[in-house]
């Protein structure tokens, strides 16, 4: 059929075909796959879950011995479960978790479009979710792919599950919380979980053994209105200002401890004002000669698992919003401080926990070093597993990287991402090998 073509055009066609083939091959790399995942817009308030799940499923299907399952938590909210079968599936399994969704981004405040996954000449990949936490979602798969490429006969000791969950950035209540209550989760027989962590600004990896729990508190004060010229006692604004003064002193006392290096920020109770609402509106602003009859303030409180929730409630009731000062309060607890056995919601990060010993040794064998275990200042889906008593650590292998989660211009360097894959690959294999040597009964 090509007889009528001249030799030169035929040669050009062959060269074009070869260039297209090489281009496709070269683009199918860990970095390009990471960029493709980052380009899927999963930001709230309308995250796209179908496209990333299809992308991850297709990639997982290219890796031998990985089985995929999509589970719908609601008709419109799915999650993806991947399973790498182990040689002894009767043992409790290992679960590696990441979330599909991300927080919104304001494109006009970014140097590069937040969903373009633009890579600069120095290797920085700019994208919403680059650190939080699409990096580990892809690194899990790349590590398993690398293990099987280097040793096709390698089989983990126990089942390994990789989970991609929705709704983490809005509390996880329609995501991981729903899943851990389902039979499908119970059937996984999970014995140990690795969830997201945060970047480290130095040469040591960070690891988290607990989260802080948010309390959203609104204090309301009431009082008689009056003319702005009068010195009326016990007004709404006066009472609210007294409350804010007491709360500010409490905040400062915790800040002093942190500044003195006696505790990390995440180890103390933090409280920050987030809104004030008072005054009588007017067409030009507020009525200035009228004292308001109501005033409100909102506060974001973060409770470490070591805090006493009953004592905190007592402080709020007696000092921050006492009824005798015409004040009321409402607290919305956005999580838990205790597990189902009544214990502080944390995982032991010491040799008394065999999973810690295995994980720490695996990281060391991979050439890494862990910094002092920390309480995460914010909140992740890890708390839902810890509440069930399942040992859970937060770990994202990012070293020498500025912490940019939820920030403008979030990025991750290509070299850091690739190094993270190598560490996870060695950790995956190392955990299984160490278990076979000394801890096969966990």
SS3 annotation, 405-419: CCCCCCEEEHHHHHH
Q: Which of 101, 195, 267, 419 is catalytic?
A: 101
- Does 351 participate in catalysis according to the annotation? no
Q: Which of 133, 142, 168, 238 is catalytic?
A: 168
- Does 339 participate in catalysis according to the annotation? no
d(CA 305, CA 14) in angstroms, rounded, equals 65
* Nearest to 344, CA basis, from 380, 386, 312: 386
> In this structure, how many other beta carbons lie within 10 angstroms of the beta carbon of residue 298?
15
d(CA 202, CA 371) in angstroms, rounded, equals 10
Q: Is 238 annotated as a binding residue?
A: no
Q: Is 99 annotated as a binding residue?
A: yes
The first and second tokens of residue 386, run together, are: 């810890």
SS3 annotation, the chain: CCCCCCHHHHHHHHHHHHHHHHHHHHHCCHHHHHHHHHCCCCECCCCCCHHHHHHHHHHHHCCCCCEEEEEEEECCEEEEEEEECCCCCCCCEEEEEEECCECCCCHHHCCCCCCCCEECCCCEEECCCCCCCHHHHHHHHHHHHHHHHHCCCCCCCCCEEEEEECCHHHCCCCCHHHHHCCHHHHHHCEEEEEECCCCCCCCCECCEEEECEEEEEEEEEECCCEECCCCCCCCHHHHHHHHHHHHHHHHHHHHHHHHCCCCCHHHCCEEEEEEEEECCEECCEECCCEECCEEEEEEEEEECCCCCHHHHHHHHHHHHCCHHHCEEEEEEECCCCECCCCCECECCCCCCCHHHHHHHHHHHHCCCCECCCEEECCCCCHHHHHHCCCCEEECCCCCCCCCCCCCCCCEEEHHHHHHHHHHHHHHHHHHHHHHHHHHCCC
d(CA 320, CA 242) in angstroms, rounded, equals 8
Phi, psi of 139 (to 5 degrees): -65, -35
Which residue ranges make up the annotated binding site for Zn(2+)? 99, 132, 169, 196, 406
Catalytic residues: 101, 168
Which residue ranges make up the annotated binding site? 99, 132, 169, 196, 406
């Amino acid at each position: 059929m090509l007889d009528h073509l001249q030799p030169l055009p035929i040669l050009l066609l062959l060269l074009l075909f070869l260039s297209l083939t090489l281009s496709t091959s070269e683009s199918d790399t860990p970095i390009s796959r990471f960029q493709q995942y980052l380009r899927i817009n999963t930001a709230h308030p309308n995250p796209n879950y179908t496209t990333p799940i299809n992308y991850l499923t297709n990639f997982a299907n290219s890796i031998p011995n990985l089985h995929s399952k999509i589970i719908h938590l609601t008709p419109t909210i799915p999650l993806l479960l991947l399973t790498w079968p182990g040689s002894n599936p009767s043992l409790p399994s290992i679960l590696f978790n990441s979330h599909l969704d991300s927080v919104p981004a304001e494109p006009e405040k970014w140097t590069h479009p937040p969903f373009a996954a633009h890579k600069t000449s120095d290797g920085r990949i700019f994208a919403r979710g680059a650190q939080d936490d699409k990096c580990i979602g892809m690194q899990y798969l790349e590590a398993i792919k690398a293990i099987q490429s280097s040793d096709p006969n390698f089989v983990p000791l126990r089942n390994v599950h990789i989970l991609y969950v929705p709704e983490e950035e809005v509390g996880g209540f329609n995501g991981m919380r729903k899943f851990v209550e389902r039979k499908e989760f119970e059937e996984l027989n999970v014995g140990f979980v690795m969830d997201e962590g945060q970047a480290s600004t130095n040469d040591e990896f960070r690891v988290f053994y607990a989260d802080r729990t948010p309390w959203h508190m609104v204090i309301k004060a009431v009082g008689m209105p009056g003319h702005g010229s009068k010195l009326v006692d016990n007004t709404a604004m006066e009472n609210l200002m007294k409350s804010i003064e007491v709360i500010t002193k409490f905040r400062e006392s915790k800040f002093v401890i942190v500044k003195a290096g006696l505790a990390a920020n995440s180890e103390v109770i933090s409280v920050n004002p987030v809104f004030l609402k008072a005054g009588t509106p007017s067409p030009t602003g507020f009525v200035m000669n009228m004292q308001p009859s109501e005033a409100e303030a909102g506060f974001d409180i973060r409770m470490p698992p070591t805090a006493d929730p009953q004592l905190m409630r007592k402080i709020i009731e007696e000092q921050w919003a006492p009824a005798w000062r015409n004040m009321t309060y409402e607290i919305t607890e956005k999580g838990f401080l205790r597990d189902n056995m009544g214990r502080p919601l944390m995982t032991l990060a010491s040799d008394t926990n065999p999973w810690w010993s295995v994980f720490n040794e695996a990281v060391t064998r991979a050439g890494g070093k862990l910094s002092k275990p920390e309480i995460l200042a914010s909140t992740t889906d890890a708390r839902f597993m810890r509440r069930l008593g399942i040992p859970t650590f937060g770990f994202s292998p990012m070293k020498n990287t500025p912490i940019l989660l939820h920030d403008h211009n979030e990025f991750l360097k290509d070299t850091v991402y690739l190094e993270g894959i190598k560490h996870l690959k060695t950790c995956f294999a190392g955990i299984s090998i160490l278990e076979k040597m000394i801890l096969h009964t966990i």
